[in-house]
Structure 1
Amino acid sequence: MPKSDFHKRSRSEWISKVDQITHSGDATLSWQHVDDIVSRLDPFMGSNKNHAHLPKGGGFDFLSVSHGREPGCIEFGIFTGTTVVVKPRRLVLERIASDPAESFLMLELDDLEPSGSNQKDRERSTLRRQEEAIEVGRGKYVGRAAYEDGYFVDDRGYERELPEDARPVLRLLNGQIMLVTKGSIWNGSSRTYSGLHDGMTTPQIRAVIQQIIDDLAAA
């Protein structure tokens, strides 16, 4: 499928999902309960169905969303097989009436403490505001080297084989995740992949997008 056709389809599908929540002009809606956040995000999940811009830059397609194993957390599946763990504070939907495909979701995150799975990396994780680890039990983490070694050292100093359900995890410790459609103004700019959204409020982002829409219409 040509890229332009793909973007047209992506934008159309995005509008449909936004309009299932609200289709009455410009709107700002928000949710704070974890159950509500998961249910509102779920329709937007899937390969090529969204692109999530991460707090420190870069991003992924979020394939799935579910309640997390850590208290108050939710989890996203991504194509690498890693699970992204975050603690949501609020989900905001900004619907832009003049071009609904440019509407966006902002997931504001509460703070997560580094797990301490690797004490040497704790300071680095805090500075990077994210932590890569291997989950070996519900909310129990060890360093990523365990995935290659096939074992980890438990709290008592004994070597243990990795359980069958051990999984790589990326824990985002704070910040904001912005979800947009592919083919959107925000996703089409290389500047936005630096984590630009993380230093802005949703009204500020909305104003930037609206100005671009207006400029394009006037050209």
Structure 2
Amino acid sequence: MKDDFRDDQLPKWEDMIKTLFDGKVPLSKEWHGPQSIAKILDSIGHNQALNHTFLPNGGGLDLHGCSLSNENECIELNLGGIGHVLKPKKLTFQWFPSAEYEWSYFLLETEKLKPTGVYEELLYDEEELVEIQPGEYVERSYWDAGEFNGEPLTKEARLVGRYLSGSLAIFAKASLYNRNTNTYDGRHSKLSPDSFKNHIQDAVNYINGLN
């Protein structure tokens, strides 16, 4: 059965990867440091090859760009139109020569980030907050109320998420990995990077066996 979305998007994902490496695609590549990592992620987010980014605690959002954060040593991902702050440890690209490029992915590992202290308890290692001015956070409820300390929120106020730990994985939006709803379980963050790579290699081997 013809799939126009995959037919349109998967070649763009392949082209993006080949362009990133000037046509010499490595098996794997690592980037370190907020500036280097933010530059690559921003390029991915603004590329015409649509992506889907799998979040540390499950679920996923599309990446639309990345910049350095107001917080020291942190970056900010534009996920679904909302900034998400994290402290990057390493960004890794992984390619599988025996597979189509849709199985190539980027894995973003994070360093531990201290909670803001806005909430007494957190269900997950993430916070949803309102940034009322750079680096100053209050509870999300003030966004819903539209005011803080009896005054309307300013135009500068915005919603911000903070990931305190975990990993994020970026795949082509049209990929089979994204089409499998079971992958929303956060396995990329629960497994070690090597174990996740092996997990994808097993999927590649299975697909190759079917073909």
* TM-score (norm: length of structure 1): 0.86
Shift in CA distance, 147/95, structure 1 to aligned 2, threshold 3 Å: same
AA of the residue aligned to 2:121? E
Aligned residue in 1 for 2:121: 123
Residue pair 1:26, 1:96 contacting (<8 A) in 2 also: no
Q: For residues 58 and 109 of structure 1, what CA distance do their matches in structure 2 show?
A: 17
Question: What is the match of residue 65 of structure 1?
Answer: 66
Q: Is the 8 A contact 1:26 1:97 kept in 2?
A: no
Query: For residue 200 of structure 2, what is the aligned residue in structure 1?
Result: 209
* CA distance in structure 2 between the partners assigned to 1:164 and 1:209 by the alignment: 44
Aligned residues with identical type, % of pairs? 29
Letter in 2 for 1:96: F
CA distance change for structure 1 residues 36 and 212 in 2, over 3 Å: closer, same or farther?
same
Amino acid of the residue matched to residue 95 of structure 2? R
The two structures have a TM-score, normalised by structure 2, of 0.89
Report the 3-state secondary structure (helix = DSSP H, G, I; strand = E; otherwise coil) of the residue aligned with 2:92.
strand
Unaligned runs of 5+ in 2: none
Which 4+ runs in 1 deviate beyond 6 A?
A: none
- Structure 2 vs 1, CA of residues 192 and 215 (structure 1 numbering), >3 Å: closer, same or farther? same
Q: Residues 164 and 202 from structure 1, CA distance in 2 versus in 1: closer, same or farther, beyond 3 angstroms?
A: same
The equivalent of 1:156 in structure 2 is none
User: Given that residues 108 and 168 in structure 2 are in contact (C-alpha distance below 8 angstroms), is that contact kept between their aligned partners in structure 1?
Assistant: yes
2:132 is equivalent to residue 136 of structure 1 = yes
**Deviation by residue 1:104-155 (Cα, 9 ceiling, x = unmatched):** 00010111111122xxx3312xx411101100111100111212333324xx
CA-to-aligned-CA distance 1:12-68 (integer Å, 9 cap, x gap): 111111112334465111111111101111221148711000010001001111111
Q: Which residue of 1 is the match for residue 51 of structure 2?
A: 50
CA distance in 2, matches of 1:113, 1:45: 26
Preserved contact between residue 66 and residue 76 of structure 2 (Cα < 8 Å): yes
Total equivalences in the alignment: 207
Cα deviation, residue 3, structure 1? 7.8
- CA RMSD, 1 decimal: 2.1
Alignment of 1:20-169 (within 5 A): 20-22=19-21, 23-24=23-24, 27-46=27-46, 49-79=50-80, 81-98=81-98, 99-117=100-118, 121-124=119-122, 127-153=123-149, 159-169=150-160
SS in 1 for 2:120: helix
Cα distance in 2, alignment partners of residues 42 and 130 from structure 1: 22
Counterpart CA distance in 1 for 2:208 and 2:147 is: 59
* Contact 1:92/1:105 (<8 A) preserved: yes
Offset, 1:206: 2.2
